[in-house]
């Protein structure tokens, strides 16, 4: 290495340049169904190629790369098994992230990130430039991708749900409405923890694909820019970060209009600490912020920014509680 060049720093930045390759290895493994095919057992490359309709030599190279990423391991007799990380890519398993991998490396999201420079120049979501639609409109028109999106959101919510439920004091609450609640993963956790609670799952007609709620839950479809159901308490998770400030104030104002005087709102989002010393600890959130920019025109926000949105919607922030170790916080708000 030439004098004056910090070899370790150069290697670190080269790692960033190559950073997108592993993401496609993960997505391709999941997309081909390799983790489900291997399961708890082991399979040789010829068997795997047969089961996944792939080219044996190319699949062997993918698997070798996946060994390097500690997703699969090769046994002495040349068969492949899943590592603990690879197990997370199986479908329908606790902690599974297979749909998350497929969503964030989906062609539309992938190409939107390819236009990050355009979004930084314009401040607009490149997803709309590429597809001619907003993300939610596009998902609604593509049921297969919509199903991946819905399950990916549920995968992200499932492991956080217990911490979120524990952080929300539902004393005196008989009905809880989850606004933009997707397939009901979070609401189901609330209903499990509170046997006397009634739930309302509210989402768009394509979003309210409730698969995990019970008879104590009513499903209501609609548009949260128009009207949301009344309830003693409302929860809204991972919705506000999808939108710019103007749209957020519109959603929160519709919720405010549906709240009784004693009502309470639990806004569930990660809180960005926009402090130079804290940024290196928030890499995933900072990448999510750019993902919101390119895919939706939304953003991640600081506590002060959330307080400002709530205030503009006639709500007062009364407390912030971290939701266990999930990375989310629960911002509690009441009518101002
Ligand atoms: C990022 S997802 C969050 C889902 C769920 N709250 C969670 O955290 O897993 C955003 C949700 O907002 C819903 N949504 C988007 N636009 C909507 C609208 N105009 N009215 C109602 N729901 C909408 C989507 O269908 C989706 O379920």
Q: Which of 118-122, 124-128, 155-159, 163-167 has the lowest mean pLDDT?
A: 155-159
The residue with greater pLDDT, 283 or 215, is: 283
212 — pLDDT class (breaks 50, 70, 90): low
Residue 181 Cβ < 6 Å to ligand 1: yes
What mean pLDDT do residues 196-225 have? 88
200 — pLDDT class (breaks 50, 70, 90): very high
| Site of tokens 């479809």 | 221
13 — pLDDT class (breaks 50, 70, 90): very high
Which residues neighbour 273 within 8 Å (Cβ) at sequence distance 6 or greater? 279, 282, 302
What mean pLDDT do residues 30-41 have? 96
pLDDT the model gives residue 208: 79
Query: For residue range 37-63, what is the model confidence (pLDDT) as tens digits?
Result: 999 999 999 999 999 999 999 999 999
Residue 210 has pLDDT above 70, yes or no: no
As given in the structure block, the two tokens for residue 80 are: 């492949």
Cα of 34 vs centre of ligand 1, distance in Å, is 30
Residue 151 Cβ < 6 Å to ligand 1: no
Q: Name the residue at shortest CA distance from atom 17 of ligand 1.
A: 204
Helix/strand/coil (H/E/C) assignment for every residue in 229-269: CCCCEEEEECCHHHCCHHHHHHHHHHHHHHCCCCCEEEEEE
Which residues neighbour 182 within 8 Å (Cβ) at sequence distance 6 or greater? 150, 153, 154, 157, 203, 207, 208, 209
pLDDT the model gives residue 292: 98
As given in the structure block, the two tokens for residue 286 are: 């900072």
Cα of 153 vs centre of ligand 1, distance in Å, is 9
Alpha-carbon distance 282 to 301, whole Å?
A: 12
Residue 297 Cβ < 6 Å to ligand 1: no
93 — pLDDT class (breaks 50, 70, 90): confident
pLDDT the model gives residue 221: 95
Ordered domains of the chain (ranges, CATH)? 7-90 (1.10.10.10), 102-150 (no CATH), 160-335 (3.40.50.150)
Cα of 242 vs centre of ligand 1, distance in Å, is 9
What mean pLDDT do residues 235-254 have? 98
What mean pLDDT do residues 111-136 have? 97
Alpha-carbon distance 242 to 238, whole Å?
A: 7
What mean pLDDT do residues 289-307 have? 98
| Confidence (pTM) | 0.94
Cα of 179 vs centre of ligand 1, distance in Å, is 7
Most confident of 16-20, 175-179, 204-208: 175-179
Catalytic residues: 241
Helix/strand/coil (H/E/C) assignment for every residue in 20-45: HHHHHHHHHHHHHCHHHHHCCCCECH
Residue 288 Cβ < 6 Å to ligand 1: no
Q: Name the residue at shortest CA distance from atom 10 of ligand 1.
A: 239
As given in the structure block, the two tokens for residue 126 are: 């490149």
Residue 237 Cβ < 6 Å to ligand 1: yes
């Amino acid at each position: 290495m030439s004098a004056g060049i910090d070899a370790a720093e150069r290697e670190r930045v080269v790692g960033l340049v190559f950073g997108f390759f592993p993401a496609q290895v993960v997505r391709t493994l999941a997309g081909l169904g390799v983790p489900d095919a291997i399961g708890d057992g082991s399979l040789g490359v010829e068997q795997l190629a047969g089961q996944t309709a792939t080219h044996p030599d190319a699949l062997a190279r993918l698997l070798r790369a996946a060994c390097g990423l500690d997703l699969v391991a090769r046994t002495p007799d040349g068969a492949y098994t899943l590592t603990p990380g690879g197990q997370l890519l199986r479908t329908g398993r606790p902690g599974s992230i297979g749909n998350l991998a497929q969503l964030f490396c989906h062609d539309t999201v992938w190409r939107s990130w390819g236009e990050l420079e355009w979004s930084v120049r314009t401040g607009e979501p490149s997803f709309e430039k590429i597809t001619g639609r907003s993300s939610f409109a596009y998902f609604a028109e593509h049921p297969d991708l919509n199903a991946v999106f819905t399950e990916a959101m549920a995968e992200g919510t499932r492991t956080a749900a217990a911490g979120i439920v524990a952080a929300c004091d539902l004393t005196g609450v008989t009905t809880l409405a989850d606004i933009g609640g997707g397939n009901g993963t979070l609401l189901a956790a609330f209903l499990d923890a509170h046997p006397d609670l009634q739930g309302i799952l509210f989402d768009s007609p394509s979003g309210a694909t409730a698969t995990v709620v019970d008879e104590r839950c009513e499903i209501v479809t609609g548009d949260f820019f128009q009207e949301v159901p009344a309830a003693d308490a409302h929860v809204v998770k991972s919705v506000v970060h999808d939108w710019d400030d103007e749209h957020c104030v519109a959603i929160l104002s519709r919720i405010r209009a549906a709240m009784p005087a004693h009502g309470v709102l639990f806004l569930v989002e990660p809180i960005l600490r926009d402090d130079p010393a804290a940024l290196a600890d928030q890499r995933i959130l900072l990448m999510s912020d750019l993902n919101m920019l390119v895919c939706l025109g939304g953003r991640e926000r600081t506590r002060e920014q959330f307080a400002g949105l709530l205030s503009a919607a006639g709500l007062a922030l009364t407390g912030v509680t971290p939701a266990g170790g999930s990375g989310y916080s629960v911002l509690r708000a009441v009518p101002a």
